[in-house]
Structure 1
């Protein structure tokens, strides 16, 4: 037997067109996207984000772009590069959620056709106030474009009549799916905003309009392009799992994990990055290490002593920021308890004065209370 024959994906069957069509419909049901089309984009979510930004920017409309991370800044750059007139607003403190008053002030300072923003930021562990931003957008008749890659499955997100018009989804985070395929949900207002960039080839793999033409507006007998079948089968399996748990259950599990992680961190004796639990991510929790602690050493100790991976915050934010993950399979009691205990243990090993037992007890308490409430409801 050759090494290729032994590889389990060597004989993977092609993904059938009828099942491909169902993938978009299933993602639409997760999002409550009754008025949106859902197109699959072959590639990691950054590809779908760039596709949306460039075709929106080619409309040469006026955009208010809310930038709370590198992804928000990139989206604005793509909009402008394609011809959009872009005004950027960022929070007063880098890496913190945008305040709705900051958005209102920016909107009052100009005339806009659309607003774009990131919903959840896994890089800093924050969530932007989507309901408030959408309410402002609706009041002004703006098209709303939302990067939901790090929020779908971890935060409440229902498109509906008052929801965003264009939403980019990546299944690799809260939905526990593959990274090599993404999706964009687009309603009539969203489609009307998109335009073909000048001097572009008539066929582009980086085009939502081409995908619409070659899939949504076709007989759907042939999948457009050549998407990797293992990514589609993996997405199919992830959606099966979501169907069994229910999207509300997935979101609740992530929100519970976030609450436990934040409670545990505070009981250790360290501060969380954002003090507002409503503005904290269901995927990651940002914490601030004590001033006199070497962040690099703490991260190395957590890995070496406990096999737990911690991550630094992005460039430009407080250098004490460390992120702990509670994403997908890690959004559960044992993983959250382990990461909080490992963070505490690494801090102790680095010479910090923290209470590891109190941190672990806080995690246990949050989960015990939640399970007691569930039993009482039953």
Structure 2
């Protein structure tokens, strides 16, 4: 008879029933909100689709900011539910401008929802969330924010900005698993979700989560919760809270600044200026003489987190990842030097010494 091998990943202790509410409260503190926080079993794209599905219905007018394929998907989901959607589309891979957003907002006097991505992992850009939220709230719109690639790496005070729905995942700045996501929901947003015609009896229904978890005292989650994922989320929050939110944001900001300076010292142009750049990912323009797939092949042996852009910009830039536990000196330096070395191999001159010095200057003194 073959003996059974014990595997700790297969014998996970149950996650305590009372622990779900504690996790939600910890996420609420992270987001700076007293609104309801829902836990969603699945990667953040599921939570985002659930938000769009729960909001959408005929008669709803939505202004959807599109700065990557993710924003496009959100607009499609709203349209699928019958909402009248106006997509305000930025130049490929760039942040939306306030002028462009304001013009689109003025063209939709009955807007009920404004949706946008805060920081884009697809290109490494940062949208002007505060200005957009201020303009949208002045029109009485519910503001929906995809903060998956910004929470923990950028300041995000949900209640102070008047944000109604904020969706996050644990797999980026928080350094956790991708198997769970969460979102905050304001009373105003609940009022819109609860209007007649909303989706119920669905895994994409926020109303179901409200009825089956919030309204029952936030004890046992409906369905079959994955103990492994919830223990992983608790562990990620433990580590993140031990560092502190302000320290984590500062660490990501330092990694981003060091990366940008290192890239420029290589002689390469950044995709966007620092004011429009994310702290989690830096986009770098590829020299015109370099083909993207050739560059990626040269980068492969270095085992860094450098990849192409996503969407229409896929062949025009590479993204240097300094998210979560990669927001540290050794990872930042490895990214910059690997990019410089790969370009040298393809015949494009770079100054590795200058790049090293530019990165190290950011780590020679406390942040």
TM range (shorter): over 0.9
Among 275, 284, 287, the residue aligned to 1:287: 284
Equivalent-residue separation in structure 2 for 1:2 and 1:192 (angstroms): 58
Equivalent-residue separation in structure 2 for 1:214 and 1:268 (angstroms): 55
Deviation at 1:198, TM superposition (A): 5.0
The 3-state SS of whatever aligns with 1:150 is coil
* 2:55–2:198 Cα contact (<8 Å) kept: no
- Kindly tell me: are residues 327 and 197 of structure 1, through their superposed partners in 2, closer, same or farther at Cα, counting changes over 3 Å? farther
Match runs of 1:24-43 below 5 Å: 24-34=24-34, 36-43=35-42
Partner in structure 1 of residue 219 of structure 2: 221
Deviation at 1:143, TM superposition (A): 0.9
Partner in structure 2 of residue 278 of structure 1: 275
The 3-state SS of whatever aligns with 1:17 is coil
Equivalent-residue separation in structure 1 for 2:115 and 2:94 (angstroms): 17
Equivalent-residue separation in structure 2 for 1:343 and 1:16 (angstroms): 46
Equivalent-residue separation in structure 2 for 1:219 and 1:321 (angstroms): 48
- Kindly tell me: are residues 220 and 3 of structure 1, through their superposed partners in 2, closer, same or farther at Cα, counting changes over 3 Å? farther
Equivalent-residue separation in structure 1 for 2:54 and 2:193 (angstroms): 5
Equivalent-residue separation in structure 1 for 2:50 and 2:22 (angstroms): 22
Task: Flag structure 1 segments of 5+ consecutive residues without an equivalent.
Answer: none
Partner in structure 2 of residue 330 of structure 1: 326
Equivalent-residue separation in structure 2 for 1:269 and 1:197 (angstroms): 57
1:83-117 CA-partner distances (Å, limit 9, x unpaired): 111001011x2110000111001011122112000
Deviation at 1:319, TM superposition (A): 2.2
Equivalent-residue separation in structure 1 for 2:58 and 2:39 (angstroms): 22
The 3-state SS of whatever aligns with 2:161 is coil
Q: How many residues align?
A: 366
Partner in structure 1 of residue 201 of structure 2: 203
Equivalent-residue separation in structure 2 for 1:134 and 1:255 (angstroms): 23
The 3-state SS of whatever aligns with 2:313 is coil
Partner in structure 1 of residue 23 of structure 2: 23
1:365 equivalenced with 2:365 (yes/no): no
Q: CA RMSD in A?
A: 1.7
1:317 equivalenced with 2:316 (yes/no): no
The 3-state SS of whatever aligns with 1:271 is coil
- Kindly tell me: are residues 220 and 195 of structure 1, through their superposed partners in 2, closer, same or farther at Cα, counting changes over 3 Å? closer
Deviation at 1:219, TM superposition (A): 3.0
Equivalent-residue separation in structure 2 for 1:123 and 1:355 (angstroms): 27
Equivalent-residue separation in structure 2 for 1:199 and 1:8 (angstroms): 42
* 2:20–2:218 Cα contact (<8 Å) kept: no
- Kindly tell me: are residues 4 and 53 of structure 1, through their superposed partners in 2, closer, same or farther at Cα, counting changes over 3 Å? farther
Q: So what's the TM-score if we normalise by structure 1? A: 0.93
Equivalent-residue separation in structure 1 for 2:9 and 2:144 (angstroms): 36
1:160-214 CA-partner distances (Å, limit 9, x unpaired): 24331000111111111111110010111111121478595x5222211111111
Deviation at 1:236, TM superposition (A): 0.3
Match runs of 1:3-82 below 5 Å: 5-34=5-34, 36-58=35-57, 60-82=59-81
- Kindly tell me: are residues 267 and 197 of structure 1, through their superposed partners in 2, closer, same or farther at Cα, counting changes over 3 Å? farther
Match runs of 1:98-177 below 5 Å: 98-111=96-109, 112-177=111-176
Task: Flag structure 2 segments of 5+ consecutive residues without an equivalent.
Answer: none
Deviation at 1:278, TM superposition (A): 2.0
Deviation at 1:11, TM superposition (A): 1.5
The 3-state SS of whatever aligns with 2:201 is coil
* 2:69–2:311 Cα contact (<8 Å) kept: no
Partner in structure 2 of residue 181 of structure 1: 180
Partner in structure 2 of residue 242 of structure 1: 240
